[in-house]
Amino acid sequence: MDRPLVKHAHAQCHVLLKVEGADTEFDVGGRRVALTDESAVLINAWEHHSYVHRADQPPTIILAMYIEPAWLGAFRGNWEASAGPDFFPHPGGAITPQIRRQVGETAEAMVQAPGDAAAHERLIGRLMVSIIERLAPWREVQPSLRVRAKATRAPDRRIARALALLRENPAGIDSMDWLARECGLSRAHFFRLFEADTGISPRVYLNTQRVERAVQAVANETRSFSAISHDLGFSVPAHFSRFFHDHAGSSPSVFRDVSALRDTA
């Protein structure tokens, strides 16, 4: 990381661990959280966050893990709760020397043998077990009734329509004003209801849908970046490249080159 990342969110919980370089920090839900040799940054699903990078700061190599709930649930059934809010009660926490060693081993394996996905998965699995056992209240089989009620409450029907439109065709969203009208709401009322139901703004949700599709297309397809840009609703390929870098941390070309190592090693 050698430049900031804009405010964004993910459908998965997100764990950030420093591999080497300068200590740095992230903004998680409006709180500054340090990322150091002794501490991790922990981000819950759909929690907005951004990377804070000073212009004079040296680069930092970060192990960033986006954890699918079903995969995590294979270790312990109640860990599928990572898809909900408050899986991590705090946005940061101190790591042990054992976790620090596991971070180094995992990063080393990814660099030295980028195509060995089975080995990577074993190492990441062990690392996640160590992190969750230390930093998440995983022994609580279920959250409180209040939290469960909030998590299972259906969104306002108008917001449910907006979510469906955003998921089905993010490239077709002309503007937030258009989306609000489609839902029968004023812009201000739409934004208030959307954030009350989801915890994030409709713009951040839209960008999440676009970046997830962009990452999959850049990493797994051979289409040109211009074609991918057009399909995602960007009028100019340069705008797509900037969007990708601001959300994924690298240019599309670098991301594709690194992803190719996974398949050719």
Distant-in-sequence, close-in-space partners of 20: CB < 8 Å, separation ≥ 6: 60, 61
Question: Taking 90 as the threshold, does the pLDDT of residue 82 lie above it?
Answer: no
Q: What is the largest CA-CA distance in the chain?
A: 54
CB atoms within 10 A of CB 219: 16
- Number of Cβ within 10 Å of residue 141's Cβ equals 9
Decide: 130 and 96 in contact? Cβ < 8 Å.
yes
pLDDT in tens, 37-68: 999 999 999 898 998 877 788 888 999 998 88
Domains with residue ranges and CATH for the chain: 14-135 (no CATH), 154-261 (1.10.10.60)
> Under 8 Å CB-to-CB from 79, ≥6 apart: which residues?
69, 72, 73, 132, 138
What would the pLDDT profile of 140-193 be if each residue is shown by its tens digit? 645 444 445 455 556 789 999 999 999 999 988 989 999 999 999 999 999 999
Q: Which of 60, 81, 57, 86 is nearest to 70 (CA)?
A: 81
CA 92/CA 94 separation, integer angstroms: 7
User: Residue 64: which residues within 8 A CB-CB, separation 6 or more?
Assistant: 14, 15, 16, 249
pLDDT at residue 154, as a whole number:
66
Is residue 264 scored above 70 in pLDDT? no
